[in-house]
Amino acid sequence: LVKELLLDNYHRVRLSLVPDMKLSQRKQLAEATRLAGIKASLSDSQKQAIIDQTAALAERQVQEDSAEILPKVGIADIPVSMKIPRPVKTSKITGQPLTYYAQGTNGLVYQQVIYDLPQLDQGLQSLVPYYTSCLTELGCGELDYLKVQEWQSSVSGGIHAHSQIRGAVDDEQTVTGYFTLSAKALTRNHAGLCELVYKTLQTPRFDELDRIQDIVAQKRAHAEQSVTGSGHMLAMAAACSGMSPVAALNHRLSGLAGIKSLKALDESFKGGAQGKQAIQTLADQLAQIHQQIAASPKQFLLIGEPGADEIFLPDIARVWGGKERHSADRSVALALPSMREQVHQVWTTSTQVNFCAKAYPTVPTEHPDAVALTVLGEYLKNGYLHRTIREQGGAYGSSANQDSAIAAFRFSSYRDPRLQETLDDMDAALEWLMNEKHQARLLEEAILGVVSAIDKPGSPAGEAKQAFHNALFGRTPEQRVAFRQRILEVKLDDLLRVGSTYLIPEKASVAIITGTDQVSKLKDQDRYQVSRL
């Protein structure tokens, strides 16, 4: 049928789609021409009506509505306690730590194997995202990746790998990192899940070169599509890339610099024998990463129904006991060079909107000023940025927040038609903070917003995972409760003090994602490092 109806069927049409490289310019010209025609057809009275409406809108946008007509929730309504799951069992199995959380999981079991992330040279460090993407998508043992996918579907509800690196709660320059393989299954399939996790970690097949090439191509397509959807996050990561070791690494691995490297890697695979050698080199490097991670200390996390640990622990002991191919505790702990510098970056790509970000060096979580900076982000967003950048400026969104993990305070705009004007508005927000008379109501709203984000509920299993991994990085339940309590005690004077202390315009780092033709609109263009994404 394929041969008769498709291949040998001459009643067909071939449609070729060719990208129009000047489509954006033609659209802008057509819009300008249309508006000029409308303007030419307006009478003097119609023009004056538009001017009057514009003035009325501007006046309305700066008016403050009475909040008293709305139902009010105050700080006094915030619950005193904070719900954080606690493990019901911590023990050792096959000589490795195991933590069990008893949560309502509707008959599911969640299993994680967590390895200390070892010290890797910079070349291998940059490839960790490829390793985590490939590990669960390749074959293992004698099975190819297709057979492994069938196996995964038969015993699990999903299996994936990821790595996480964070700064210490009292020093953003000191880092800790972990690699995690995470899987879930029905309780009755836990024994099979243990076998799957074990085989995935012990016998991955980095010889499936075509599959590795496909995974890299898929990562590239996803990364390129993410720019216009997550451009504000990428711009903030770039603006913060000089603030701390973790911020610099995030920008290099998963930020704009990472996307640029990903595109270059994918392109290197195209080109006959040279391309095949590039894929083989990557496969060999992924195998090196795996060997070093597998030689690192590890621990287990289990989350299931109350009492189910009596079933799960023997399964893990049976699968892992005495069968490991690598000896543990041969790794060197992760360390990254200290980083604290200012950056000014412009990244150009095919976009008709802009993503602007500014960042200021601040303090880590345990510093006394961290709580005031956290509240200040919500205060500036609600009190000034939303009105000027979104309502008046036309951006889809704006934000201000303190990221204590990297000791940075960040501004951003999302899908923004403006560029330099938005950067100026971010500076104007600081002037508004220092010079305007502020209402206690705005502070209360900011505190409520921060606490609601902290107390945002998740699934029972998700909350247990969050509690466990927070504790790994020093964010213990006690530390989190104390931080939340300090949020409730922030005063307006604290906001003014930390604003004047840390948010100094001369110390700001800037990163922008924009179109090539927009760069000329920036002030002081010479100070920006311009890169083509």
What pTM was computed for the model? 0.88
Query: Percentage of the chain with pLDDT > 90?
Result: 82
Same domain, 195 and 246: yes
Same domain, 242 and 128: yes
- 218 within some domain: yes
**Total domains, the chain:** 2
- 248 within some domain: yes
- 375 within some domain: yes
Give the domain extent around 442: 75-82+342-532
pLDDT for 330: 60
pLDDT at 327 over 90: no
Which pLDDT band holds residue 193 (cuts at 50, 70, 90)? Answer: very high
Same domain, 179 and 235: yes
pLDDT for 7: 82
Q: Which are the contacts of 411, defined by CB distance < 8 A and separation ≥ 6?
A: 356, 357, 358, 359, 380, 385, 398, 399, 400, 426, 429
CA distance 371 to 363: 10
- 210 within some domain: yes
- 49 within some domain: no
pLDDT for 60: 85
Q: What are phi and psi of 178, to 5 degrees?
A: -140, 145
pLDDT digits (tens, 9 = 90+) for 98-123: 999 999 999 999 999 999 999 999 99
Same domain, 283 and 353: no
Same domain, 190 and 277: yes
What CATH number does the domain containing 528 carry? 3.30.830.10
Instruction: Report the pLDDT averaged over residues 270-279.
Output: 92
Say if residues 486 and 371 touch (Cβ distance below 8 Å).
Answer: yes
Same domain, 290 and 353: no
User: What are 468-477's contacts with CB under 8 Å, separation 24+?
Assistant: 468/87, 468/99, 468/101, 468/301, 469/164, 469/178, 469/180, 472/114, 472/176, 472/178, 473/166, 473/168, 473/169, 473/176, 474/168, 474/169, 474/176, 475/169, 475/365, 477/84, 477/86
pLDDT for 338: 94
DSSP β-ladder status, 108-116 and 171-186 = antiparallel
Say if residues 164 and 176 touch (Cβ distance below 8 Å).
Answer: no
Q: Report the SS3 class of residue 533.
A: coil
pLDDT at 325 over 50: no
CA distance 118 to 137: 23
CA distance 89 to 315: 16
Same domain, 147 and 277: yes
- 141 within some domain: yes
pLDDT for 324: 55
pLDDT at 73 over 90: no
- 364 within some domain: yes
pLDDT digits (tens, 9 = 90+) for 413-443: 999 999 999 999 999 999 999 999 998 899 9
pLDDT for 326: 46
Same domain, 299 and 382: no
Same domain, 364 and 416: yes
Say if residues 362 and 409 touch (Cβ distance below 8 Å).
Answer: yes
Backbone CA torsion sign across 39, 42, 45, 46: negative
Cα 440 to chain centroid distance, Å, stands at 33
